Structure 1
């Protein structure tokens, strides 16, 4: 197994798969043409958002999904998963480090574990900030619905950290929360039980708070 976190743009890669479900062990070559792409993949009536995927111009055809994307050292750096239907030589692979995390969880715990903060929120964009007269144009504004949907889930890690309705969470461990880098994508990098530092804006004052992430049920 390789390390997908150290891939570089322009790095040579090899895609292997069963092209069109008919031609077994088809090998194509190309380069890493994009890193950290967010795409929406569809298959039949189902769609799925894939985040932080690798883009490559190595030919990936229907039937190649699940095949390895390999570097020139023979290490698997990704799992081929999708191809653009509207353009040629634009394929995507799930980074192997994401796959490793899933495999490790299943082997150790018998399931995939997801971290949990316990907040309901609106994503802050420049237009949202202007409309709501906010002093920042990124982060998440903690806001709930009725009494059955509070901004901060009772008993959650966010509640233990004394977060409340109207607070703005700006960063997690220095990573800004934006529409391009949403909360769910940042949290995906952590495990339940990990301790993170939140930068928050509450009552016009910025501060930091330490939170131990829970496990999503």
Structure 2
């Protein structure tokens, strides 16, 4: 018998299978069939007997225990469910809804969900649009968000964009419906964080965790005022990523670069802004802040470690004081490096502004005292490299007033380290 084979090199080879070989194959198959028939005949009575026994047991409603293989336990999902239930029962009372009200003209409303592209904040606003033929004013609810207690005497943390309107009134609603008038103590100029205060005592303050210890894949739980309508909404998921950098916008001209934040697939929605993100132990490890538009289950939270400093400062001083060094600068990249023949493609180039009064270094500032001058390049802050993802302002915000920091500096063709003490921005 003649067959053809392609050997992969383009040539076709021809070979012949002897008829004798084919007869041997036929004989082998015949013997195999006989053996299979013999074995089947030998065991078929036992198989039939087992079937009859199993069928009889089913018809009589009995239970037949067949040999079982090792199986996975179902205890773990139940254990996780119980932990989430316990978390909610123990800690949900520390989460509040924040209602935003304002005395405004009769207005027709439009949907505030028409966000910019990218990663919008959870907008708290159902923004009214003025009708030109009406002048009557009345107090209206214009938005809502979430927050949580960080002290027993009524201090509450939320997002700055939730309480950004200085002319609005803010009401805190606790679980059970009790309402309190709230005062905004401080808004952080560098981060999307704000602190409110209500009068009273013995409020259920939540425990703050350690966001530096987070791992991708661990379980997290969000509680908040979803869509501004469903208070105490609970969702769970996992941490999808860490140290994400995104630009978030509210749709009303507010836009902020969020750096080193937490990504989660936990279902969170507008109205959840400012609400807590818990680990499974019931510790707050983040503050829900933004969601990816046009995507499913891509949300973001500020790590709680970046918030602790703000909370401590407000508790001690009643305000948020921001440190500064007193320079104007341009972040370097490949393009600026090549255009100006600079030795680095990273760092902050100290440069004056367009006006005569836009000094490169503010007289009397910490930078001035450290002898930093125009055209110097600040390369690192305490060893951390300055680049687009870690601009100088962000690195400085990690410290408090009075801290001494070391700048790695390129000055007149040489690299050196200088120390300066951070002061409060006036």
Report the TM-score range of the alignment, normalised by the length of the smaller protein.
over 0.9
Q: Tell me, yes or no, if the aligned pair for 1:139 and 1:168 is still in contact at 8 Å.
A: yes
Structure 2: how far apart are the matches of 1:120 and 1:44?
28
Q: Tell me, yes or no, if the aligned pair for 2:215 and 2:239 is still in contact at 8 Å.
A: yes
1:147: Cα distance to partner?
3.5
Aligned counterpart for 2:340 among listed residues 101, 123, 132: 132
Larger strand proportion, structure 1 or 2? 1
SS in 2 for 1:45: coil
Match of 1:176 in 2: 385
Moved beyond 3 Å, runs of 4+: none
* Alpha-carbon displacement from aligned partner over 1:77-121 (angstroms, at most 9, x marks no partner): 011122112201011111112222211111111111111011011
Structure 1: how far apart are the matches of 2:264 and 2:339?
39
Q: Tell me, yes or no, if the aligned pair for 1:40 and 1:47 is still in contact at 8 Å.
A: no
Compute the TM-score of the two structures, normalised by the length of structure 2. Answer: 0.49
Larger helix proportion, structure 1 or 2? 2
Structure 2: how far apart are the matches of 1:93 and 1:162?
39
The reply to whether residue 47 of structure 1 matches residue 254 of structure 2 is yes
Structure 2 counterparts to residues 6-155 of structure 1, below 5 A: 6-49=213-256, 50-145=258-353, 146-155=355-364
Structure 1 gaps of 5+ residues are none
With a CA cutoff of 8 Å and minimum separation of 6, indicate the structure with the bigger relative contact order: 1
Structure 2: how far apart are the matches of 1:94 and 1:16?
15
Considering only aligned residues, what root-mean-square deviation do their CA atoms show, in Å?
Answer: 1.3
Q: Tell me, yes or no, if the aligned pair for 1:65 and 1:80 is still in contact at 8 Å.
A: yes
Structure 1: how far apart are the matches of 2:251 and 2:407?
40
Aligned counterpart for 2:372 among listed residues 153, 163, 166: 163
Structure 2 gaps of 5+ residues are 1-207
Q: Tell me, yes or no, if the aligned pair for 2:276 and 2:286 is still in contact at 8 Å.
A: yes
Structure 1: how far apart are the matches of 2:406 and 2:360?
19
Structure 1: how far apart are the matches of 2:414 and 2:249?
43
Q: Tell me, yes or no, if the aligned pair for 2:259 and 2:389 is still in contact at 8 Å.
A: no
Compute the TM-score of the two structures, normalised by the length of structure 1. Answer: 0.95
